[in-house]
Amino acid sequence: MPSTPRPARADRALGGRFWAFWSAALAANLSDGVAMIAMPWLASSLTPDPVLVAAVATAGRLPWLLLALPVGVLIDRLPRIPVMVGAGTVRLALWAALAAVVFSGWASVPLLTLFAFCFGVLEVCYDTASETVVASLVPRERLERANGHLRTGALVVQEFGGRPVGGLLISIGLFAPFVLNVAALLISVLALARVRVADPNGETPARERRGLRGVGTDLTEGVGAILEQPLLRLVAGIALFVNGCYATALSTQVLFVRDVLGLGPAGFGLLMAFAAAGGVIGGQSVSFLRSVLPPGTLPVVCLTATSLVYCVVAALPLTPVVAVGYLVTSGLILGYAVAMVSIRQRITPDRLLGRVNAAMRTVSWGVSALGMAAGGVMVAALTPLTGHEGALRAPYVLIGAVGLVVVVFFGRRLTRLVREYDV
C-alpha cells in the first residue's frame, strides 16, 4: 500500500483526523480493488454463462436496493466510526471463509452469489457511514478537496494496487487474492479504530434512537428530505437512468475484456489500472474545475463528455481505444460523483445526512443491481442476433445514448438548480 504522503499546505486545513481516516480508508480500498478482479474472474471460471456471471455481480449490489434505507436510520442513530469498524471486522472474517472455500475446491456459483450478497450488506453499512462522517471531519468549504482525496486515494490503491495485484495473484491460485483481502482489512480496522470523531448525533434525544421505535418515521423523514429538495430530487432521477445503464456494462465487463479485447486476468487488471489514472486526475481537479467553469455547469459537462466517449468505445472496441476511453470516463465519472456528493453534504443537515446518503445510494446503487441483471440478460438475448462480440458492445451503446438523452432533457435544469442551492 502506498505510504501516506505529507499533505500540501493547502490541504493541512483538512485536519489530522481526516488524514487518519483517509489512511484507514486506503487499506480497505486495497481490499476492494483486489475483489473487483478476483470475484468476477472466479465467477467466470465457474461458468461461461453471462447471466450467471452477472448474477454474482447483481447479488453484491442488491443490498443497496433492499437495505440502504434502514441502514441510513442506523447511521443517524449510532456513532459512525464504530459502525465502520464492526462492518470491516465481519467482512474480514467472510473473506477468510471464502479463501478457505476456494482453496478447498468447494466454490460454486450459488455459494459465490451468497458471499457477494453478504459482502454487499457490509458494504452498505461501511460506505454509508464513511460518506456521512466526512462532513464531521472537515470544514464545509473544503468538502470537494476531502472527497476528492478520498475518491482518488481509493482509485490509486484499487486500480494501481489492488486490481493488478489481484490479477497476478489469480495466476498463483484463485484463493490467493482473498488472503490478501484479509490482511488489508485487518490493517484498515486497526487504523480506523484509532480515529476519534465527536458523536454527530449528540443533539438527537436518546429516546428517539432507542431500539426500533420511530424507524418508520425516520425512514419517511430521510426520503422526504430528498423529495422535497428540488436538486436532490433531480439528481436521484438522473441516477435512475444513468446508473442503471452503466451497470449493464459493468456486470459483463469481464467478458468484454476477455472475449472482445482478448486480454487475460493480468491484462484485465492493468487495463483497469490505466483507467484509474483518469479518475485520479478527475477527483483531484474538481475544486479547480468548479472554480473555472461557469457556475453549475460541472455536472452537465461530465455527463455529456462521458456519454460521447462511451459511444466511441462501442464503435471501436480496440484495446488502445478502450484504454483511453476508460481513462477519460473514469475521470469524468469521478468528477461528477465528487461534485454531487459534496453538494449533498453541504445542503443536508447532519442529523439527516445518513438517511439522505442512504436514500441516494438506494437509488443509484440499487438501480445498478437491476442494471447488472439486465446486462447479463441483454447480452444473452442479443448474442443470437448480433454475435457474441456485438452483444458485449451493446451496453456501451446504451450508456452513450441514454446519457445524451438525459443531458438534452435535464441538463439545463440541473445547471440552474446547482446555481440556486449550492451557494
Q: d(Cα 279, Cα 156) in Å, to the nearest integer?
A: 9
Q: How many CB atoms lie within 10 A of CB 10?
A: 10
3-state secondary structure of 298: helix
Q: d(Cα 400, Cα 268) in Å, to the nearest integer?
A: 22
Q: Is the pLDDT of residue 262 over 80?
A: yes
Per-residue cell: 48: 461461461
- Delimit the domains of the chain by residue range: 11-198+208-421
Q: Where are the beta strands (DSSP E) in 229-334?
A: none
pLDDT (mean) for 122-150:
81
* Beta-carbon contacts of residue 65 (< 8 Å; ≥ 6 apart): 362, 365, 366, 367, 369, 370
pLDDT at 207: 35
pLDDT confidence tier of residue 160, bands split at 50, 70 and 90? low
pLDDT in tens, 289-307: 877 888 888 889 999 999 9
pLDDT at 8: 46
Place of cell 436538486: 231
Q: Percent of the chain having pLDDT more than 90?
A: 13
CA distances from 282 to 324, 332, 349 (A): 14, 6, 27
pLDDT in tens, 27-66: 888 887 787 777 877 888 888 777 787 788 778 878 877 8
pLDDT at 317: 87
Q: Is the pLDDT of residue 206 over 80?
A: no
CATH 3.40.630.30 for domain 11-198+208-421: no
Q: What pTM does this model have?
A: 0.69
Q: d(Cα 20, Cα 7) in Å, to the nearest integer?
A: 12
pLDDT confidence tier of residue 90, bands split at 50, 70 and 90? very high
pLDDT in tens, 347-401: 888 888 888 888 887 887 777 777 877 888 888 899 988 888 889 999 999 999 9
Phi, psi for 107 (deg, rounded to 5)? -65, 145
Q: d(Cα 155, Cα 285) in Å, to the nearest integer?
A: 14
- The DSSP symbol for 422 reads -
pLDDT confidence tier of residue 212, bands split at 50, 70 and 90? low
